[in-house]
Structure 1
């Protein structure tokens, strides 16, 4: 076939002497390729025109897609892959452009690049790595049957907007996209995606708001990125089960309003120490999974007592567990989770230590402490403390209006105060709690408590005195068979 080729569109070139369409000749050659070579060549069209394809990478791609099979007497897939590669080179479908220390790169002439595009549309799984081009080939968007796309460790700057054509796509893995800064807004049209992995995309800063439209999204991995903010509608993803923010320091440093935090088990999950850098502006905070804290120092690093805006705090351990193991650890952890002085509502659930936190007491074992002064605490609810025996020496809480004690099977005594503003005292399911002397603060003499008080409590009961004011109007006591006031 003679004649000078102009341009790269093989459909418009005609041989000047024979009048035979180059397109027809090339298509005829392609159609007559053995089926296994046709598959191998088909996947080459996914690379951009002019892209230099690494030979080893291409063979790995063929193997990953089961495009080559073993021959009789040969059990080495790479060997078969090299044979396929050499066959395509010999037939001029591929051209070796460089070979360095035995590592070859090849390319496709523009004339043959479009040949297999029709047949690549039936792929369901595609994995490509270490692409050295700026844009993902548009041809990938035409693979209407594609369900899993893995493009990893590549230098691409962006994905094409046409990715929205992949209506069957379920998994998108872009791990290690070194230069990717954002996903296209059209990603929100890929309604079937259930997993997106953007880990180690070092230049990723934001996500498009459209990601909130992917109702089937279950896993979103953003670990080791520099993402600065999450889409405002990410909370609408009702099926989202895993949001990986591991080492997303830019995001966490700006997350200053946080209402809910779950401590995970193991290094792959959130540690309570990470609370130290977030939630400074939070007014409400619930912390779950505290049983996973293995180091008391991590609890101190949460810096709860320095969150000056915090007004309502919930500390939750596992529920329904009555074992006595790790009681000293849990006590040390609770000591480290001291609330700020301005706390108004404090609820603690599932704590299994034998003693209450030091910041709740004004004395321990007869030794007077310098108490933390919670001047505006109004509500305190302690629930499900299976191992606590004594709730003694509670610190003065001048504004406490409601005190609730629930499900403490080991509790034998309670004392402390004064609580001059107390209106409601609720005690439920405290089967071992015995005698408690409730004394109005004004009836206690100044100086030494109990001495010279002719009508309140004998000295022998001073360890069980609960000092209240004159505002108590609601005393709710249930399932406390030994309790006496």
Structure 2
């Protein structure tokens, strides 16, 4: 592992002085050290020669527990929220720059890829890489195991243990050592200890950028949540929250909001129109209809709607002209999409929406999808043919995945004219009996469980 990381480092250095600097590093002068410590020091060379923007992003990863399975999209959001992403002169989106940072760290072997299926990447750190992250981040980031642990007052990013096992005096004693905290992570917060914990955090840490409270078991956020004027990222993923206080919608600097899996959440208020800077919204609610005010969220780049059991329709003629990714899944009553003019949309996922009928001839339901590159249609029992509005994406589509659509009997002829299409996966399509002639020339064509399709 250390050799691989150093090899990648040396490969990136193209002049003699860089190589000599690495050769003459004091790290190589270590004696009487254990093999693991020698490897750690060798990896430190690779870290020391990284640009400063990569150092910040890498060190931040130490806030997560050992063997954590990272998700590229969420990790990049955390980097953006903490200001680690440098602006680009060519107007690149911060998410794109963050992806470049991640690819640089991957090229240096600081992460091990576990699963790579565009646009999602799952990866982890080797134990020694994780130890390196802890070592270089010790004054900035801290993963606290028990509340009695000593903690440096310089810490900016902290993962707290379950407060259930700590007294209010212990919590207060720990918080009083800290001041300008930017990230708080605390998973599985119970209702019995959430009120004091959250109220104290909000009162104490006014400069908070990230609040990660996934799988927490409380019904309400404190109304003081609106005081976190610097908050950029809030995740209540998989929680039991029922209502969002009115003050919540005053978080005008919020960029990323994750309410996915919050199946008890009654509604998303029309006041969400005030949150004009949100770039990504993941949502699960009990609503039948979403507020049209979502159309005022002109910064929205990513919208994921999942497990909304009562949802019947999305929006009426809402124009989300900046949206790059749209995911809709496990909404059994959803009958129509009602979104138009998604001219910036690049990634579209639709899965397990049993009542959704997409095959309406040349229907222009989604308007012109002139930028669409990636499409997933999965577990759509009513899908008979690909919707007509996809034809406008013939020149831009790069990857198409179609799974478990029992009534899909044919693919359109225009599919063979998709000049950019490099990957087509067809699985679980028992009625599909033929393919357009040119489709078999696609570089990567995977077909399985399509019993009527001739070979």
TM-score bracket relative to the smaller structure = 0.3 to 0.5
- Normalization by structure 2: what TM-score? 0.42
- Normalization by structure 1: what TM-score? 0.40
Kindly indicate which of the two structures has a greater share of residues assigned to helix.
Answer: 2
